[in-house]
Amino acid sequence: MIGVSGTRGTVGGSLTPTVVTQMAAAFAAWLQEGSQSAPLKVVFGRDSRPSGTWVRDAAVGALVASGIEVIDLDIVTTPGVAMMVQYLSADAGMIATASHNPIQWNGLKFLNKQAVAPPPAEALRIKQFYTEGRARWATVDKLIAPKKNSETHAVHIKRVLDHVDVLGISSKRFKVVLDSVNGAGCVVTATMLQKLGCQLVHLYGTPDGQFAHEPEPTAKNLTGLCAEVKRQHAHVGFAQDPDADRLAIVDENGTYIGEEYSLALAARYVLSKKPGVVVTNLSSSRMLDDIAAAANSKVIRTPVGEANVIDTMLANQASIGGEGNGGVIDPRIVPGRDSLVGMAYVLQLMASTGKSISQLVADLPRYEIVKTKFECHREDANRAVAAIKSAMTQEAGVSVDTQDGIRLDWVAERSWVHARPSNTEPIMRIIAEAPERGIADRRIVQVQEIVRGVL
């Protein structure tokens, strides 16, 4: 799969050393196109997957052979790489990761000089270069040996802690159970929580990529975390995905509250200090609209995709933003989803309000969100979206947004449904939200019936 932010595949299947080498060479050729500066600098990091060493070696080899100066960060988080693009004034970043996908997957994620994914038009150009086998191999006098850099964790932690009351949080001595799924976030997150005075119980804290459970931080994969929070009488449980850009939260009762609350709780804290604009995607919860309204702020929605959210945040000088998959973004720290930012802001909200996670959740308007997906090629998904628009926009009181697939909002009912093809997988996602589960289920069924009629 080649998407807007890079490529993913199965190790030994669709992802081979040849593919990685060719993709990295294509990225280097794209980076060098029209560039007058020499040499160009790329920071490279990887998550903890066992395949990460050969993916790194193949990618870095191609970059070096293209005359690129490579700064190897070793095992670091995806937000850590983005931060280091800025910190080291690099020209780009590259990450060996497959995000939340299982262990048999790996891939490459690309960042431009602004430390965000290249715009769609440029991503298509990189894909074209890859398809055409383009490369700009350097002569021996232009080759630069890669360098190591071990500053990422320290710089990342300092940036986060500069935006919270460290003493105020530390005085609470919160007991935190952290599930790092043996991913890239193990070391940096444990260090940050200890600096915040937390009593840490760390599950799966060895960054060896041997995921102890399915790595996506969803309810069905975090039953062990929920049980441990309850057993430890902890204040909160946090879960990360393998590259540590997503955050899921478990309350003090051992209840998984859902990834949607990660951004909602972080936004409540930030907007209490700095009212303004919140940016999120079309598939994120209405809770943000209610939180923003209470803080005299407003929400801007974008197509799904981290780059879309970040671009809109920067254009509108947003106070905070992110996505409903547990992605919290504060561009003052790093222009990308960052689980460390989310944890620090949630702990700060707990400390400043004196409330538990369950009490903070109870303060928010209650919605039920239902997420479904099914295998579907993009051309079929486009036909399905057209059919949904034709059939459902006739209803009274519905507003339509077609930035990304189709989102239908029933304002009076306070419900919505969003149907869209995935950017990274051959699937179609249908998400609905309403004050009651029955209403959300009904909206999902409506869309599914229309889709079945055209596929």
Q: What residues are labeled active site? A: 99
Tokens of 250: 């478990």
Contact between 421 and 405 under an 8 Å Cβ cutoff? The reply is: yes
Can you list the pairs that 353-357 forms with residues at least 24 positions away whose Cβ atoms lie under 8 Å? 356/235, 356/251, 356/252, 357/235, 357/236, 357/249, 357/250, 357/251, 357/252, 357/257, 357/265
d(CA 69, CA 28): 11
Q: What's the number of CA atoms in the CB half-sphere (13 Å) around residue 101?
A: 18
Residue ranges in 101-151 assigned as alpha helix (H): 120-132
> Quick one: which of 263, 328, 334 has its CA closest to 80?
334
- Strand stretches in 30-140, DSSP E: 41-46, 69-75, 92-96, 105-111
Tokens of 149: 């850099």
For the chain, how big is the Rg over CA atoms in Å? 22
d(CA 120, CA 116): 12
> Quick one: which of 50, 139, 66 has its CA closest to 102?
50
Q: Is the peptide bond before 39 cis (omega within 30 degrees of 0)?
A: yes
> Quick one: which of 101, 92, 20 has its CA closest to 57?
20
Structure letter (DSSP) for residue 216: S
Q: Which amino acid is at 240?
A: Q
Element housing 155 (H / E):
helix 152-161
Distance of CA 284 to the CA centre of its chain: 13
d(CA 166, CA 170): 6
Tokens of 272: 């209490």
Contact between 279 and 318 under an 8 Å Cβ cutoff? The reply is: yes
Q: How far apart are the first and last CA of the chain?
A: 22
